[in-house]
């Protein structure tokens, strides 16, 4: 079970001297600066410091911080929440445990409502941290967690293994809760988009290869998958023109004719927006002088195209495959 794995991770960290502030922040979905602020302002600091300097947080410290997250997430001012945490002896002093048995998790009343609101299953701990930060609408923590994920894992792996599962979990919560969490989904999407833009370097004047045009088909407003593809290709020094959501047919055709791209990527999240005739029409667009006419290679991207693509129009199944396919053509 996920809770067992978390406890195992805590016990392993304790054997190594405790959790670092960064590890605690990832587990709770808060910014490291927030944890340090709670320490300096309210005395919710680590029980031990390795070598007298480095912070090391124990299981009891983690329980207190989880309680702090729950109370502040419920709307209590941080100062009042900290007083309650410090006064709750059941969280300050754990019950005696037989040797070798793990300390049980805090009572349900001490759990963060943000942390328990999403059913993430067996996903990685970083996903839970992002989800908690999004549910609390904590912009600072979310930006730090997203940036750390991209720096540590790379753009493609961070999207595939961490960011996309978190987005899907929040989307499921919205769909099954009577639209109670629409603001959380919008908040998370906005910050993911910002993280992608911050990570992608500006287009270099000497970028290599031909142009790639990326656009959502008419009626399609899910832009994040194309934003991450844009960032990944730009990171590799390729020229990309991204047109975003719901590009009209006439505008798409005009953009292809004006730029003469080697690759056109068309994103469709839903089967209702995917149009095989549109993909075929774009693939047939020609430009250049007589006798040396050129056409783009069209990629259909996204789940909306499943089972609906035409012969000669490739459909990369995921981000990594799309990056490799586009790079192989646009970098020539």
Q: State pLDDT tens for residues 4-48.
A: 444 445 454 444 557 888 888 888 888 888 888 888 888 888 876
φ and ψ at residue 272, rounded to 5 degrees = -75, -20
CA dist., res. 217 & res. 237, Å (int): 25
Q: Note if the pTM is more than 0.85.
A: no
Q: Chain-wide mean pLDDT for the chain?
A: 78
DSSP conformation letters of 210-262: EEEEEEEPTT----HHHHHHHHHHHHTTEEEEE--S---HHHHHHHHHHH--S
- The lowest-confidence range among 119-128, 134-143, 239-248, 309-318 is 119-128
Q: From the CB of residue 104, how many other CB atoms can be counted at a distance below 10 Å?
A: 11
């Amino acid at each position: 079970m996920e809770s067992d794995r978390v406890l195992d991770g805590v016990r392993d960290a304790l054997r190594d001297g405790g959790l670092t502030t960064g590890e605690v922040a990832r587990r709770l979905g808060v910014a490291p600066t927030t944890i340090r602020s709670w320490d300096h302002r309210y005395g919710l600091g680590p029980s031990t410091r390795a070598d007298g300097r480095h912070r090391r947080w124990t299981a009891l410290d983690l329980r207190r911080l989880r309680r702090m997250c729950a109370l502040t997430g419920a709307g209590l001012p941080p100062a009042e929440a900290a007083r309650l945490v410090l006064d709750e002896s059941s969280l300050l002093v754990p019950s005696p445990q037989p040797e070798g048995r793990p300390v049980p998790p805090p009572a349900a009343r001490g759990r963060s409502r943000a942390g328990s609101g999403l059913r993430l299953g067996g996903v990685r701990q970083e996903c839970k941290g992002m989800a908690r930060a999004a549910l609390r609408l904590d912009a600072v923590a979310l930006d730090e967690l997203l940036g750390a994920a991209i720096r540590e894992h790379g753009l493609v792996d961070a999207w595939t293994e961490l960011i996309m599962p978190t987005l899907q979990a929040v989307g499921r919560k919205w769909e099954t809760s009577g639209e109670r969490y629409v603001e959380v989904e919008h908040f998370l999407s906005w910050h993911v988009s910002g993280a992608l833009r911050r990570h992608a370097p500006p287009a270099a004047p000497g970028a290599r290869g031909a142009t790639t045009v990326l656009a959502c088909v008419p009626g399609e407003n899910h832009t994040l998958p194309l934003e991450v593809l844009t960032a990944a290709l730009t990171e590799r020094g390729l020229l990309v023109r991204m047109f975003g959501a719901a590009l009209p047919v006439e505008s798409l055709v005009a953009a292809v004719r004006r730029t003469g791209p080697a690759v056109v990527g068309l994103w469709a999240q839903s089967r209702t927006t995917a149009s095989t005739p549109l993909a075929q029409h774009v693939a047939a667009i020609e430009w250049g002088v007589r006798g040396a006419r050129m056409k783009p290679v069209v990629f259909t991207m996204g789940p909306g195209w499943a089972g609906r693509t035409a012969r000669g129009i490739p459909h990369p199944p995921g981000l990594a495959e799309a990056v490799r396919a586009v790079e192989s053509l646009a970098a020539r």
